[in-house]
Amino acid sequence: MKTKRFNAAALLLCAALPWYAAATRAAEPGNDTLNIAYGNRPGTLDPYLTTNNATSDVDRHIFEELFTINDKFEPVPELVDHYEIGADRLVYTFTLRDHIAFQNGQPLTADDVVASMNRWLALSTQGKANLPGARFAKTGPLSVQLTLKTPSLITLNILADLKNIAAIMPKGIIDRANESKGPVTELIGTGPYKLAEFKQGEYLHLTRYDGYTSRTEPASGLSGQKHAWVKDIFFRYVTDESTRLAGALTGEYDLVFNLPKDNIDTLKQSAGVHLYAPESGGSLITYLFNKKTGPFADAKLREAFNTALDVNSVLLAGYSDARFFTADSSLGFPQQADWYSEAGKPFYNQHKLDAAKKLVQESGYKGEEVVIIATKEYAELYNLAIVAQQVLKQIGVKSRLDVYDWPTVLQRRQDPKNFDLCALEFSMRQVLHQYPFLDSRANFPGWSNSPEIDGVLDQIKLAPSLKEARPLVDKLQILTWRYLPVIVLGHTTPEPIAIKDGVSGYADLIGPILWNVRIAH
């Protein structure tokens, strides 16, 4: 009997071995390569110097922040182990996670955090606008303190910004960048992937960082567990829409972003590929004015352009199908209960050409040529730029369209002499303060300068709670429509992404989340 029981157990063990081996392999990182067709090229990879998606979509895999965002858009610790907030809301004490190493093998210390965060505070649009006068200081080997000039309701949201990433880097890299007064020359973080190669305009190669130490909480948004199952990730910069589409249909790419909207239905019917629709996100669709110099420094001319717009026609011209946008006057999105407001509706979608022509005559416009800057790499924004030129012609304003590649647009728009108007999308943000065009202290291209808007932004930060700040949110919307740093046209729906069959685990939160992605064989 004993022999029979032994033989039965042995048979069960033998039967289980293939399953056990497969499960073990599934739990181990593989040597797969993920190929991504990406439509836009980054102008810089320094996360402090830009809010551009082409930079942040890559950098979030290389770098980590003190705090990040979960799938409920709440700020939660990333490199911070625990923290305390003083009773006056002016002093934040952060204790860092122990045994974290940078991708060059160097251990993470308080010195790295202080150097990184003080540079970020000085250079980033988020730091300058939302934490002016703030400073980080070392209080122990793994302890730092943030001291604010005034209390702020949104401090942790700002530290966890998804676009102007407050990346933690080794102090030596920060010191060299400060000395040169230029961008960082090495990209070294604590994230699950490290930079292997960047060939400008062609591709960017990330490879697994084997020394990565993950948090243990369940994955949620950008927070929690991160597993670099895929060894290598290539962002292939494919600026032609038809080439990206062909790559999705043939299976050349595992992921395809920036899909041509006219072909979405074709992809739905195609074999070997499926579409992923992000559950949250989308972008604010705007026309951005240069308010520092040139014709649109005159607020009345900005008002004239806004008065002339037939927003629904503009959006259809830009996005071709109402499935891809929502006409809306609000800076906030409908799902953002604390920030959504319809207070700006009276100023929105007026389409009054005669009134607009009269405003042009009343303005200081003397027949100057308005320069509209654009790129064909963002097809929708290029279409919106063409419509802007047509609307300006209707109300008697001369214009020309200057078209460049996207990195050149990013470079040229830094100088107010180079443009007067451009169409831009701004990714949905956790709080309205993170839109860099609002606050004059951000010094964002467009160069807003409204003490009234700055004042309301500060009042919101000083409020005891978002509920008590609600009247101020409505006031902010009205002031924005009167000053017109931008014209809000509406919101995009989150863009679908083509995913090759066999690729699993992809997630998205205002950009790709590529850790936890697997490729089946």
pLDDT tens digits, 273-312: 999 999 877 899 999 999 999 999 999 999 999 999 999 9
pLDDT tens digits, 192-216: 999 999 998 899 999 999 999 999 9
Q: Is residue 181 part of a domain?
A: no
What pLDDT score was predicted for residue 305?
A: 98
What pLDDT score was predicted for residue 11?
A: 44
What pLDDT score was predicted for residue 358?
A: 98
Query: Which CATH number do you get for residue 374?
Result: 3.10.105.10
Measure the CA–CA gap between 327 and 319, rounded to whole angstroms.
Answer: 12
pLDDT tens digits, 329-359: 999 999 898 999 999 999 999 999 999 999 9
| 502 pLDDT higher than 80 | yes
> How high is the mean pLDDT of the chain?
93
| 29 pLDDT higher than 90 | no
Q: Is residue 109 part of a domain?
A: no
User: Are 67 and 80 within 8 A, CB to CB?
Assistant: yes
| 22 pLDDT higher than 80 | no
Q: Is residue 373 part of a domain?
A: yes
Measure the CA–CA gap between 361 and 241, rounded to whole angstroms.
Answer: 41
SS3 content of the chain, % helix, strand, coil (to 5): 35, 20, 45
Structural tokens at position 347 = 């100023």
Average pLDDT over residues 111-115: 98
| 137 pLDDT higher than 70 | yes
Q: State the residue range of the domain holding 391.
A: 283-492
The amino acid at residue 58 is V
- Write the secondary structure of 125-148 as one string of H (helix), E (strand) and C (coil): HHHHHHCCCCEEEEEECCEEEEEC
- The model carries a pTM of 0.86
510 Cβ contact partners less than 8 Å away, ≥ 6 residues apart: 162, 163, 280, 281, 427, 428
Confidence bin at 27 (pLDDT 50/70/90): low
**Total domains present in the chain:** 1
What pLDDT score was predicted for residue 49?
A: 93
Q: Is residue 360 part of a domain?
A: yes
Helix or strand holding residue 60 (H, E): helix 53-62
| 272 pLDDT higher than 50 | yes
Q: Is residue 452 part of a domain?
A: yes
Confidence bin at 43 (pLDDT 50/70/90): confident
What pLDDT score was predicted for residue 13?
A: 44
| 21 pLDDT higher than 80 | no
Average pLDDT over residues 452-473: 94
Give the torsion sign (CA, 370, 375, 379, 381). negative
pLDDT tens digits, 75-85: 999 999 999 99
pLDDT tens digits, 53-63: 999 999 999 99
Q: Is residue 478 part of a domain?
A: yes
Q: Is residue 229 part of a domain?
A: no
Specify which residues 76 forms β-bridges with. 68
| 5 pLDDT higher than 70 | no
| 14 pLDDT higher than 50 | no
Q: Is residue 365 part of a domain?
A: yes
